[in-house]
Amino acid sequence: MTAPEPMTPALEYCFELQVDVTAPRRIGRGAGGQLHFTPITGGRLTGPRAEGTVLPGGGDWWVDHGTTTQLDARYLVEIDGHVVDVVNRGYWRANAAAIERFEAGEAPGEEDLYYRTAFVFQTDAADLRWLAESQFIGYARPGDDQVVIRVFRVV
């Protein structure tokens, strides 16, 4: 018996998160590296599958491991009057070209950053169950006082 051909993963673009942040706060050195916290102050969500608001009050706890940073963000968004819990974990690292652009005060291109995240959404809103019942990945980039993340559903 021949095994069936494995599926090739596909992605559906759902929306972009524009998450407003303030300056990070250094918490201190832990066993795994330098721990920091970046407060989330608001933002918006726009795209073909959903429109909404990033609510203030969440944040991103991140650990700097030298050339790689491990991210662990938790915040709330509001879509069509429903609050959705967002857990977003991932990794950030930059190649030499990106570091040079950062040091020159310029924004690096997405291709120079490995800024990838995985989302878990929680909600009991019937119209938004698709968020709570699928896996999502994000391609992020830094903005002016923002983190911008394009969110894709794995189909």
Q: Pairing relation of β-strands 136-143 and 59-64?
A: unpaired
In a domain, residue 115? The reply is yes
What secondary structure letter does DSSP report for 66? S
pLDDT of residue 150: 97
In a domain, residue 134? The reply is yes
In a domain, residue 6? The reply is no
Contacts of 6 (CB under 8 A, 6+ apart): none
In a domain, residue 4? The reply is no
Which CATH number characterizes residue 41's domain?
A: 2.40.160.20
**57 φ, ψ (degrees, to nearest 5):** 120, -10
In a domain, residue 105? The reply is yes
The mean pLDDT value for 89-114 works out to 85
State the chain's mean pLDDT as an integer: 93
Residues in the chain: 155
The domain tally of the chain equals: 1
Which structural domain range is residue 22 located in? 11-154
Contacts of 57 (CB under 8 A, 6+ apart): 40, 75, 76
What are the tens digits of pLDDT across the range 126-154? Answer: 999 999 999 999 999 888 899 999 999 99
What are the tens digits of pLDDT across the range 5-56? Answer: 998 999 999 999 999 999 999 998 777 788 999 999 999 999 999 999 999 9
Q: What is the pTM of this model?
A: 0.90
What secondary structure letter does DSSP report for 111? G
